[in-house]
Amino acid sequence: MARYTGPSCRQCRREGAKLFLKGTKCFTEKCPVERRPYAPGQHGQATARRKKASEFSKQLREKQKIKRIYGISEKQFRNTFDRVASAPGIAGHNLLAALETRLDNVVYRMGFAPSRKAARQLIRHRHIEVKGRLLDIPSYQVRPGEEVRVKQSSRELVLVMSAMEQAARGASLSWIAVDKESFSGRVLEKPQRQSIPLAAQEQLVVELYSK
């Protein structure tokens, strides 16, 4: 399936929760989820009044929600799950850790971009360095100890400056160290579930893919 290119806020309304896909807009009164808290489309309000969802429906919706939060395709999501499913530990936690350490998510978490979509754009346009080398692969898995940096000539970009100003108001993550003076950061360790600020029930995804 191709990557979704429609309105980001429509995805949030479909899942009935803020997925924080639009950067600062998600924190304002302009957020469509606040103004229209029901699914998009002419039957959106009627859908909200339907009978209780089945277990399969809950599992599917949770998978869709997580996939949309990280902005990846169905194939990428399934490949990530298959890769970590047999690893030691809890499969759901391993899945989230793998998604969190994607380069596009790391750039977003470090505060160099206002959203994961914007982070992917920075990476694709070769504004991001990993271990001192330009890297244009958003799905690259950042390993503990590796340094991620905004390249010297890109540090005055409005997108980067505004994102860092916004990020300064939020709480830092224990598995990431950021040096705002040098526009760089480092992944310290594999993120644990309690240090991933994500309101998701990843076990439902494991149940869905285990059928």
Residues 10-68 have pLDDT tens digits of: 565 555 665 656 555 555 665 655 555 556 655 455 555 555 778 998 999 999 999 99
Burial class, 135, CB count within 10 angstroms (exposed 0-12 / middle 13-18 / buried 19+):
middle
Per DSSP, the chain holds a count of helices (H) and strands (E) of 10, 5
Average pLDDT score over the chain: 85
pLDDT confidence bin for 1, thresholds 50/70/90: very low
Residue 187: its pLDDT value, please?
96
What pLDDT was estimated at residue 32? Answer: 58
Pairing relationship of beta strands 184-187 and 147-150 according to DSSP bridges: antiparallel
Cα separation, 195 vs 52, in Å, equals 32
3-state secondary structure of 143: coil
- What does pTM read for this prediction? 0.79
Q: Which domains does the chain have, with CATH numbers?
A: 7-51 (1.10.1050.10), 54-210 (3.10.290.10)
